[in-house]
């Protein structure tokens, strides 16, 4: 487990508002469809973790970036972001430890998955309860280690190439995810 320290302790300079720290990509940066996770300083005591989706070099969705969580501590925000990118238990805050809320970790995983799928907030609202539940269940499976990010996003990429209707794509994707979980 990595201990995360504040930027000022490392560089000797307090980060200014707007400072951004890159936590990494989900899945790895070489994937065609992927999400960049970053932490930005909003003000003296607010650090926002956010996600930006890409398909190749093109941004996904209509949102420039999707907020995941705002925390009052720089190192907590960075550690939380690293736990989303590399898995639960990867990093902890030097001052506050590693006691991240399970609901926040699930919510962050869900935001990353939705971003990778190219679903905007507006589309998510109109998706329908059944389809939203399927996406939530997949996010839970990723967080619990039952499937990998790469497998989930690769399956989404495959089904969207053959399905014109979004809800049909979610159904086909859910069937592929079930097969992946059964193989493990």
The DSSP letter of residue 164 is S
**Among 136, 130, 145, 128, which Cα is nearest to 111's?**
136
Contacts of 95 (CB under 8 A, 6+ apart): 73, 75, 76
- pLDDT tens digits for 145-162? 999 999 999 999 999 999
Cα distance between residue 71 and residue 21, in whole Å: 14
Question: Could you tell me the two tokens for 102?
Answer: 């399970």
The phi, psi pair for 27, rounded to 5°, reads -65, -155
What DSSP state is assigned to residue 147? S
List, for residues 94-149, the tens digit of each pLDDT value.
889 888 999 999 999 999 999 999 988 788 888 889 999 999 999 999 999 999 99
């Amino acid at each position: 487990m990595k201990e995360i320290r504040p930027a000022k302790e490392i560089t000797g300079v307090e980060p200014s508002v707007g400072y951004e720290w890159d936590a990494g990509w989900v899945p790895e940066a070489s994937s065609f469809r992927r999400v960049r996770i970053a932490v930005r300083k909003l003000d003296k005591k607010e650090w926002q973790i956010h996600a930006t989706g890409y398909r190749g070099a093109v941004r996904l969705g209509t949102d420039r970036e999707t907020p995941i969580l705002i925390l009052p501590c720089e190192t907590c925000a960075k550690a939380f972001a690293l736990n989303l990118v590399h898995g639960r238990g990867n990093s902890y805050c030097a001052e506050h430890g590693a006691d991240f809320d399970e609901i926040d970790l699930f919510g962050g995983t869900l935001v990353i998955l939705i971003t990778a799928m190219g679903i905007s907030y507006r589309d998510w609202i109109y998706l329908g309860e059944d389809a939203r539940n399927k996406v939530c269940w997949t996010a839970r499976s990723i967080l619990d280690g039952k499937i990998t990010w790469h497998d989930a996003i690769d399956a989404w990429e495959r089904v969207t190439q053959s399905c014109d209707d979004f809800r049909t794509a979610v159904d086909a994707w859910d069937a592929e995810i079930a097969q992946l979980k059964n193989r493990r």
